[in-house]
């Protein structure tokens, strides 16, 4: 979801969510009962873009900054995704109190 590939379309052909064993995830994230998850991801993507980064890096930076998290596990299906997320430390400096409040607001709705 944080790659943004589902932000404008709900087409999942040739993506991880198109796999038979992940149909439950597709339904949960994009189906009728998903609520406003896609809108939240769109708003988070917009915020990341405004900050000059990508949503995946911002999400990992948020996780790294969270005092309640002791370990961050990265998931990537392609080498370039891993290379990008390994630079998430660069995005920690973007997480001012104001930005953290905006993130909380996005995901509290």
Tens of pLDDT, residue by residue over 3-24, are 777 776 656 677 777 888 988 8
**Domain of residue 104, residue span:** 39-108
- The answer as to whether 62 is a domain residue is yes
Q: Are 42 and 7 in contact (CB under 8 A)?
A: yes
pLDDT higher than 80, residue 76: no
- The answer as to whether 61 is a domain residue is yes
- The answer as to whether 86 is a domain residue is yes
- The answer as to whether 16 is a domain residue is no
- The answer as to whether 7 is a domain residue is no
Q: How confident is the model at residue 77 (pLDDT cuts 50, 70, 90)?
A: confident
CB neighbour list of residue 109: distance below 8 Å, 6 or more residues apart = 36, 40
Q: What total of structural domains would you count in the chain?
A: 1
- 6, with CB counted inside 10 A (0-12, 13-18, 19+), is buried
The pLDDT score that the predictor gives to residue 9 is 64
Q: How confident is the model at residue 70 (pLDDT cuts 50, 70, 90)?
A: very high
pLDDT higher than 90, residue 97: yes
- The answer as to whether 45 is a domain residue is yes
The pLDDT score that the predictor gives to residue 25 is 81
- The answer as to whether 68 is a domain residue is yes
Positive or negative, the CA dihedral 108, 55, 31, 78 is negative
- The answer as to whether 30 is a domain residue is no
The pLDDT score that the predictor gives to residue 84 is 85
């Amino acid at each position: 979801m944080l790659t943004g590939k589902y932000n404008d379309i709900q087409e999942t052909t040739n993506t991880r969510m198109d796999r038979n064993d992940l149909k439950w995830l597709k339904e949960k994230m994009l189906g009728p009962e998903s609520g406003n998850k896609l809108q939240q991801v769109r708003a988070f993507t917009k915020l990341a873009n405004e900050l000059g980064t990508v949503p995946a890096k911002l999400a990992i930076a948020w996780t790294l900054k969270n005092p309640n998290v002791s370990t961050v596990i990265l998931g990537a299906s392609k080498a370039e995704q891993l290379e990008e997320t390994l630079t998430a430390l660069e995005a920690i400096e973007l997480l001012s109190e104001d930005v953290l409040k905006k993130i909380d607001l996005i995901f509290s709705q």
